[in-house]
């Protein structure tokens, strides 16, 4: 009888420990994010994780490819796009779980690690014979690449530079072309050059005007609404919070 009692007590203890461990497991929020926000998210994500008591898993890529994955059923709870068009596309397909929210306005820069000083960078540099290769993100899948092409067209440089363009799958790959020197320069997201890791690496100038504001939106996916609706909604709201907006600003984004 005594042995049975101790066995029962031991089983009870193990059951309690297991239940407690299960309860302490953090909810995982899977987020698909455009490459241009990667550096800023490295600061934003830990703040939300601490505040909400959850764990975030980031999948970084071009907005177009991430949209295709979500439409095909990829299990992402939240989508952070580099524009509003892709979230709107998901909404029309019935793949979103809420209304897209614009969290920041992005902008373009001309960046080079090959020029000796900033004064060399200008629209005239884009016309120079010294420029053999110019990196941009693929305009078919990356909003920043699309904005770059609009800029070049409005500056009447698209035909001249078409043979020199080297397209990256995303802003991340575009930046690699610039950093490695594989391209003489590139048109990329301002957030890239504002990252602490990029400080002192080459020279850059703002490309103001010549393209519409890059309105970036985030949305809860249909999967997110089904699986973790409250946490997904709270994370999108956090991207618009004062804490997050302070970080967005440090990476060159403007308030929506």
Q: What's the rounded Cα separation, in Å, for the pair 216 and 168?
A: 20
Q: Is residue 218 within 8 Å of residue 87, measured between CB atoms? A: yes
Confidence at residue 165, expressed as pLDDT on a 0 to 100 scale: 98
Q: Of 74, 87, 204, 65, which is closest to residue 142 (Cα–Cα)?
A: 65
Q: pTM of the full predicted structure? A: 0.87
- Same fold for the domain at 28-105+214-250 and the one at 108-207? yes
- Consecutive 10-residue averages of pLDDT for the chain (256 residues): 43 38 68 97 98 97 97 97 97 95 98 94 91 97 97 96 97 97 98 94 94 96 97 98 98 96
Which CATH architecture does the domain made up of 108-207 adopt? 3-Layer(aba) Sandwich (3.40)
Going through the chain in order, the beta strands assigned E by DSSP cover 27-34, 54-61, 78-80, 101-106, 108-112, 134-137, 165-168, 185-189, 203-207, 214-220
Q: Kindly state the DSSP code that residue 102 receives in the 8-state scheme.
A: E
- Write the pLDDT tens digit of every residue in 227-250: 999 999 999 999 999 999 999 999
- Write the pLDDT tens digit of every residue in 140-187: 999 999 999 999 999 999 999 999 999 999 999 999 999 999 999 999
Return the structure tokens found at 256: 């929506």
CA angle 217–223–225, rounded 5-degree value: 75
Q: What's the rounded Cα separation, in Å, for the pair 155 and 16?
A: 68
| Domain 28-105+214-250 class, CATH top level | alpha beta
Q: What's the rounded Cα separation, in Å, for the pair 10 and 57?
A: 37
Confidence at residue 123, expressed as pLDDT on a 0 to 100 scale: 85
Give the burial class of 121: count Cβ atoms within 10 A of its Cβ; 0-12 exposed, 13-18 middle, 19 or more buried.
buried
User: What share of the chain has pLDDT > 90, as a percent?
Assistant: 87
> Where are the domains positioned within the chain?
28-105+214-250, 108-207
3-class secondary structure, 84: coil
Confidence at residue 22, expressed as pLDDT on a 0 to 100 scale: 38
Q: Is residue 109 within 8 Å of residue 189, measured between CB atoms? A: yes
């Amino acid at each position: 009888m005594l042995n049975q009692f101790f066995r029962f007590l031991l089983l009870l203890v193990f059951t309690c420990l297991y239940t407690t461990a299960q309860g302490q497991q953090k909810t995982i929020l899977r987020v698909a994010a455009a490459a241009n926000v990667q550096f800023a998210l490295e600061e934003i994500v830990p703040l939300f994780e601490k505040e909400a008591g959850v764990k975030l898993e980031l999948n970084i890529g071009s907005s177009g490819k991430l949209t295709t994955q979500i439409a095909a059923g990829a299990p992402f709870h939240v989508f952070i796009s580099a524009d509003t068009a892709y979230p709107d596309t998901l909404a029309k397909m019935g793949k979103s779980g809420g209304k897209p929210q614009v969290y920041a306005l992005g902008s373009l820069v001309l960046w080079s690690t090959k020029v000796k000083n900033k004064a060399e960078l200008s629209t005239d540099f884009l016309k120079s014979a010294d420029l053999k290769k110019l990196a941009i993100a693929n305009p078919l899948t990356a909003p920043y690449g699309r904005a770059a092409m609009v800029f070049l067209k409005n500056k009447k440089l698209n035909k001249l530079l078409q043979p020199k363009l080297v397209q990256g799958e995303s802003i991340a790959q575009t930046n690699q072309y610039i950093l490695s020197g594989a391209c003489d320069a590139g048109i990329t997201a301002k957030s890239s050059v504002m990252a602490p890791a990029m400080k002192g690496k080459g020279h850059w100038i703002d490309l103001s005007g010549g393209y519409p504001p890059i309105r970036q939106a985030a949305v809860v996916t249909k999967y997110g609404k089904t699986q973790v609706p409250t946490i997904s909604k709270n994370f999108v709201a956090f991207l618009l919070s004062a804490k997050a907006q302070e970080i967005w600003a440090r990476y060159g984004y403007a308030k929506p």
